[in-house]
Amino acid sequence: MDNSYSSSGGFAALGLIPIIIILIIVVILIAAMWKVFTKAGKPGWAAIIPIYNYVVMCEIVGKPTWWCLLMICPCINFIFLIWVYNLLCKSFGKSEGFTVGLILLPIIFLPILGFGDATYIGPTAKEAMADNRFGAGDYQKPFDNTPPPQA
């Protein structure tokens, strides 16, 4: 009798290799995001909670927490995720080039941000809101021409 299923164990092992590689990448990204949150003074465990990590990221960059709803809506989430990643890089003193790297190669640039020498300098979105084109410090009052309070 011919046993043609004797070599199927080798193919099963080949299927495990991509799963192990993906798990290693996920662990590296979670550890890097954990470190980024810790550097910003937020709890590191927030990196592993699916929606809450967007809320914490909005707090780190200084955007309102309702932006996390925009980051989970289909189609517009790409725009807001790129925007928040850019503000995250600026909150750590990095440039737009680092943002491009973070978007295209997060497995490299997120550990650089988390484990590197980048320090959290504060939320950059609030600084940007103070000098908006309407002249108001509050984005909800675009026609208020009073100057923003000086810190």
Asked if residue 35 belongs to a domain, the reply is yes
Query: Quick one: tokens of 2?
Result: 């011919």
pLDDT per residue as tens digits for the range 72-131: 999 999 999 999 999 999 999 898 999 999 999 999 999 999 999 999 988 876 554 555
Asked if residue 95 belongs to a domain, the reply is yes
Per-residue pLDDT band at 135 (split at 50, 70, 90): very low
Q: CB neighbours (10 Å) of residue 151?
A: 5
Domain that holds residue 109: 8-130
Asked if residue 149 belongs to a domain, the reply is no
Q: Quote the number of domains for the chain.
A: 1
Write down the H helix ranges in the chain.
Answer: 8-39, 52-61, 67-70, 77-91, 96-104, 106-115, 124-130
- pTM for the model: 0.74
CA 41 to chain centre: 15
Asked if residue 150 belongs to a domain, the reply is no
- The more confident residue out of 14 and 20 is 20
